[in-house]
Structure 1
Amino acid sequence: MHIDALLADLPAPLDIAAAQVREAVDARSVLVVLDDDPTGTQSVANLPVLTRWEHSDLAGAFATGASAVYVLTNTRSLDEDEAALRNREVVAVALAAAAEAGKRVTFVSRGDSTLRGHFPLETDVLAAEIASRGGAAPELTLLVPAFPDAGRITVDSVHYWVTDGEAVPVGETAFAQDATFGFASSNLRDWVAEKTQGRIPADAVAALTLSVIRAGVDATRDFLRAVPTGSVVAVDVVEESDMRVVALALHSLNREVLLRVGPPYVRAHIGQDIAQPVSAADITFAHDRGGLVVVGSHVPLTTAQLTELRAQRPDTVTIELDVRRLIGERRDAYLAEQAATVAAALADGTVIVHTTRELVTGADGDESLAIARQVSGGVVELVSRVLAIAPPRFVIAKGGITSSDVASEALEIRRATVLGPMLPGIVSLWQPQTGPAVGIPYIVFAGNVGVADSLARVVATLADAE
């Protein structure tokens, strides 16, 4: 369906400024965002992000006075047991650190805007752990996967991927065929029923539609106040103001909530303006070698972006990592050889490293995830070896699992600050605060965002800077 036809009969959006939301935020409140991969930071600016969650990490982040703190759990790359354990650990530490700091925590489970990830596992675990640790048990779980900046919107509870003016129900896209987190439903109410295997039937999911949201903050608050305790609420969003209305309603609702959201909702909830893209003049580079572009994602959009990057920069050295050799017996020797090649090439300019576009999967979701982890581990080891030999000018990591592992393991980033987006509303730039990557701008680039030339544009901003 063309986007104009989809939106034709909707009420007009409200004019809600970010400043209105900022004024409504309780100074004692803080969002603790459990980010299931680091691409959740792409819609915010000037906020702390942690890849570890010891008490000192959370306490230090709360001491900054930030209204939101990102904790990179990377659970989308883990099995259910490991994912559950990480969620429990973060809740325990965050509640203890918040109590000491006098902070009131709202937990955010940041999931994928194309509906992949551990749902309902993560929200179930969070709710149970909050209650068991003496926190206020969430009364509602709001499901807000929309990401308008990247063409993901929700209308009448149906979640769409919009590209080239066409709105495609997300259940009909390649994302729904994910080997680990696949699904069939595009209507969020049906999707909840599907993912909970009927434990939460579709008709028990409350639908907060645009007809309510665009009737105003009071109407939205009244709707949420009337929803039975324990319910999941599917939230419509087409543009930023829709999320700001929901945020204002929640700030005055006086009900404990748990949020399962896509990247931009945090920005709306804390009243951040949509940040302007970072320019080369905003960035400090510690090294004058070429930059390193690492591509691990296999979604079709990433492959198209890689193709366009190579077409625009045909002289850029490109190293292809053979996925089958990364999971083979002579992996170490292969990685040592490739790392030496990359390090030498960085002396002359930017280097692209990508895995072969063949997607190797296992017999089931767990086996496929294990293979993906092994491949990602090979990419991480390569980057780590290159960093030790020849630290690059910048690092771009393309893909969720890839960018998480490169950040926490290869670059050893424990704490960083999200400087802002590299493109409007998408692709975040981190300034590492710890580890060997201090002074190396790190760009987190999701596999499923942007258009064909987006990767090339980001590379140009960094590689062509004076």
Structure 2
Amino acid sequence: MSNRFHKKQSEVFGSLPLEQIQSLMPAIQRMIADIGDKIVVLDDDPTGTQTVHDVTVLTSWVPQTLIQALEDPSPAVFILTNTRSLTPENAAALNRDLVNNLQKASKQVERGFVLISRSDSTLRGYFPLETDTITETLRVDFDAVLIIPAFMAGGRYTINSVHYVAEGDELVPAAETDFARDAAFGYQASNLRDWVAEKTSGKVMARDVISIVLDEIRQGVDLIEDKLMSLDSHRYCVIDAVTERDLEIVALAALKAEAQGKRFLYRTAASFAAIRAGIRLRPLLTSDEIRLRRKGGGLVVVGSYVPKSSSQLDYLLSHTTIHRIEVNVEQLLNDAAQSNEIERVVTQARLFLEQEQTVVIYTSRQLITGADAQSSLSIGNRVSASLVAITMQLRDAARFIVAKGGITSSDIATKALQVRRAKVIGQIIPGVPVWQLDELSAAPHLTYVVFPGNVGRIEAIADVVQKLEG
């Protein structure tokens, strides 16, 4: 990989205009309370809860569930759609169904809502399909789609409209990372204006995408409010950020513009979703705060293939004595061998769990892809379905489960654990949320850790396991 466009994070951050010191969160919270609309975050995989706490996450969007969510006085709710694992057609259909139900619930409860389409901070996901589908279903003339992929806990920053991924002290343009070579959601542009043009297949030209950069943001709320007020006719607007204070300025400016009649649809990463909902950052959870409420062993399931996940898995296996079981993916893709491979893994893992020990189950690391994006998704879904089948047979023996990877953690939550509602209690390490399952799930009161594939230092999985084991 060429490092021609890499930059030193310390040097870049040191050259930026001074950020605002005073928190704007009290003003944001007051405006949210005064307006009264519910912030509804449509999360294309479960990792969008990376920055929130004391928030409900739903995996069902039937009308009665949405009515209850809107009646709840809390400012926000997260709805796990997991569309990143679906075909484009199914992703669009899901968004239509959810938004239609949300509109009906809103009318019945007489409470408005603001939608945030939360997606990946490394620019993977169904854009612009999801924002287009939401717009068409709501039949709303949005003034702008605000694109804000910065995610501080994961080292994802946008500077002068270029999106970067931090690797140590280097800022690497997103298109130069392995994330950009994703089999289903790859891309070539790091400049977000060019990225919008790329993803819209040239229907939107880069020169027509509005940008709001740090030099403007750090001049304060009034300037950003003016820029947002000037947007109309469904313009795309890409927005810089390197700190939460930058996002607070943008959120407060957006609230003030919305109070004057502007309508925005948000396509963002986790950091902005939390701030727009008025949720303050809180310290990381301690072992005492996590409070495991079940007996049994610990189960870690690693399905993610991104290089960061593989490096973290290698560290866990080489630096700890954790019990380990490799799942042979080639066997999972073989109709004649799949069930035997699942049974082998379950039998071995159950022995460790019943002795109240921790075991990691991980897919073999040779990534198998298809001839195109859809066949690659199909392979990934078959592997994920196998991990679900394994977890279903082990869930009763586990006191905690850690799922590594977006699709893996979503499928285990919704299918293996049959979660319909959970409470996000906080983060165990930066960017890694902990869910407490309710009594209606298939694993009541289980502590469930949603571990994104693209987050954390090399020691991250080992650190999480150590904290959970106390």
TM-score bin (small chain): over 0.9
State which of 143, 148, 157 in structure 1 corresponds to 2:147: 143
1:282 counterpart SS class = helix
Residues paired across the two proteins, number: 456
Q: In structure 2, what is the equivalent of residue 439 of structure 1?
A: 445
Question: Equivalents in 1 of 2:384, 2:347: separation in Å?
Answer: 19
How far the C-alpha of 1:319 sits from its partner, in A, is 0.7
How far the C-alpha of 1:64 sits from its partner, in A, is 2.3
Question: Equivalents in 1 of 2:72, 2:327: separation in Å?
Answer: 41
Q: Is the 8 A contact 1:55 1:94 kept in 2?
A: yes
State which of 29, 42, 61 in structure 2 corresponds to 1:34: 42
Residues 1:334 and 2:338 aligned together:
no
Q: In structure 2, what is the equivalent of residue 460 of structure 1?
A: 466
Q: Extract unaligned runs of 5+ from structure 1.
A: none
Q: Extract unaligned runs of 5+ from structure 2.
A: 1-6
2:291 counterpart SS class = coil
State which of 14, 21, 30 in structure 2 corresponds to 1:23: 30
Q: Is the 8 A contact 2:61 2:101 kept in 1?
A: yes
1:181 counterpart SS class = coil
Residues 1:71 and 2:79 aligned together:
yes
Q: Is the 8 A contact 1:28 1:102 kept in 2?
A: no
Q: Is the 8 A contact 2:40 2:78 kept in 1?
A: yes
State which of 246, 255, 258 in structure 2 corresponds to 1:242: 246
TM-score (norm 1): 0.96
How far the C-alpha of 1:337 sits from its partner, in A, is 2.4
State which of 77, 81, 89 in structure 2 corresponds to 1:81: 89
How far the C-alpha of 1:99 sits from its partner, in A, is 2.1
> Deviation string for 1:103-162 (max 9, x for gaps)?
21111111100000000100000111111xxxx432110000010111000000000001
Q: In structure 1, what is the equivalent of residue 312 of structure 2?
A: 305
Q: Is the 8 A contact 1:48 1:66 kept in 2?
A: no
Residues 1:430 and 2:438 aligned together:
no
Q: In structure 2, what is the equivalent of residue 222 of structure 1?
A: 226
Q: Is the 8 A contact 1:189 1:202 kept in 2?
A: yes
Q: Is the 8 A contact 2:141 2:234 kept in 1?
A: no
Question: Equivalents in 1 of 2:177, 2:81: separation in Å?
Answer: 26
1:435 counterpart SS class = coil
Residues 1:261 and 2:268 aligned together:
yes
How far the C-alpha of 1:15 sits from its partner, in A, is 2.4
Q: Is the 8 A contact 2:354 2:397 kept in 1?
A: no
Change in 2 beyond 3 A, CA 1:16/1:102: farther
Q: In structure 2, what is the equivalent of residue 294 of structure 1?
A: 301
State which of 89, 106, 122 in structure 1 corresponds to 2:114: 106
Q: In structure 2, what is the equivalent of residue 448 of structure 1?
A: 454
> Deviation string for 1:173-216 (max 9, x for gaps)?
00000011000000000000000010010011000111111111
1:143 counterpart SS class = strand
TM-score (norm 2): 0.95
1:291 counterpart SS class = strand
How far the C-alpha of 1:96 sits from its partner, in A, is 1.4
How far the C-alpha of 1:6 sits from its partner, in A, is 2.2
State which of 1, 8, 23 in structure 2 corresponds to 1:2: 8
Q: Is the 8 A contact 2:328 2:341 kept in 1?
A: no
Q: Is the 8 A contact 1:287 1:391 kept in 2?
A: no
Q: In structure 2, what is the equivalent of residue 350 of structure 1?
A: 358
Question: Equivalents in 2 of 1:195, 1:27: separation in Å?
Answer: 34
Residues 1:118 and 2:122 aligned together:
no
> Deviation string for 1:61-95 (max 9, x for gaps)?
22321211111110000110000011111111111
1:45 counterpart SS class = coil
Which contiguous aligned blocks of 4+ residues in structure 1 show a shift greater than 3 angstroms? none
How far the C-alpha of 1:27 sits from its partner, in A, is 4.8
Q: Percent identity?
A: 38
1:264 counterpart SS class = helix
Q: Is the 8 A contact 1:296 1:376 kept in 2?
A: yes
Question: Equivalents in 1 of 2:362, 2:141: separation in Å?
Answer: 44
> Deviation string for 1:417-464 (max 9, x for gaps)?
11111113x10001112222112100000000111011111111112x
How far the C-alpha of 1:10 sits from its partner, in A, is 2.2
AA aligned opposite 1:453? E
State which of 180, 200, 208 in structure 2 corresponds to 1:204: 208
AA aligned opposite 1:269? R
Question: Equivalents in 2 of 1:247, 1:456: separation in Å?
Answer: 35
Question: Equivalents in 1 of 2:52, 2:199: separation in Å?
Answer: 29
How far the C-alpha of 1:268 sits from its partner, in A, is 1.1
Q: Is the 8 A contact 1:43 1:420 kept in 2?
A: yes
Residues 1:183 and 2:187 aligned together:
yes
Q: In structure 1, what is the equivalent of residue 412 of structure 2?
A: 406
Q: Is the 8 A contact 2:119 2:267 kept in 1?
A: yes
Q: Is the 8 A contact 1:209 1:236 kept in 2?
A: yes
Question: Equivalents in 2 of 1:141, 1:162: separation in Å?
Answer: 26
- Give runs of aligned pairs for residues 376-391 of structure 1, distance below 5 A: 376-387=384-395, 390-391=396-397
Residues 1:370 and 2:350 aligned together:
no
How far the C-alpha of 1:287 sits from its partner, in A, is 2.6
1:408 counterpart SS class = helix
